[in-house]
Amino acid sequence: MPKLQNIQRDSKEQDLCIYPHYITENINGDICTSDYNKGAVVVSISGQYRFSYTGQGSGLRPIGICTDVLGHILVCDDVSRTVHLLDQDGGFLSVILSKQGIKNPLGLCVDNENNLFVGQYVTNTVTVYKHLK
């Protein structure tokens, strides 16, 4: 398979990612990467840095990441053990799942029927939620 491109640096010539853990694409064509060691969701388009999301004050350790049909970015946070919902430009919208509903979210997936699948590594379960109506 031929290599097309390396995506390595942001607009300040800093490493775009330190530990790119999970990668997905949203409806904009953005490449969304969860970087656990950098503590950020890093988003680029056509190989160019677009933005980073670093959480809501207490730090972020993003693990699983996915997107939905509206371009929202959903990301598991290993620090707060929650799922953050971001808009397509990286703006924080809400915490959609919290410690009361899940334990240790690790992986995320949204299917064609807008069901959100959440893999949890302490309970070894996958729980399904209705994400969008």
Per-residue confidence (pLDDT) for residue 20, from 0 to 100: 82
Q: Is residue 80 part of a domain?
A: yes
Q: Is residue 2 part of a domain?
A: no
Q: Return d(Cα 114, Cα 84) in angstroms, integer.
A: 16
Percentage of residues in the chain having pLDDT higher than 70 = 90
Instruction: Indicate which CATH number applies to the domain containing 30.
Output: 2.120.10.30
Domain count, the chain: 1
Residue 4 has pLDDT above 70, yes or no: no
- At 52-79, the pLDDT tens digits run 999 987 789 999 999 999 999 999 998 8
What domain range is 102 assigned to?
Answer: 20-130
Q: Is residue 14 part of a domain?
A: no
Q: Is residue 86 part of a domain?
A: yes
List of residues 6+ apart from 44 with CB closer than 8 A = 7, 16, 30, 31, 33, 50
Higher model confidence: residue 18 or residue 80? 80
**Residue 17 and residue 37 in contact, taking contact as beta carbons nearer than 8 Å:** no
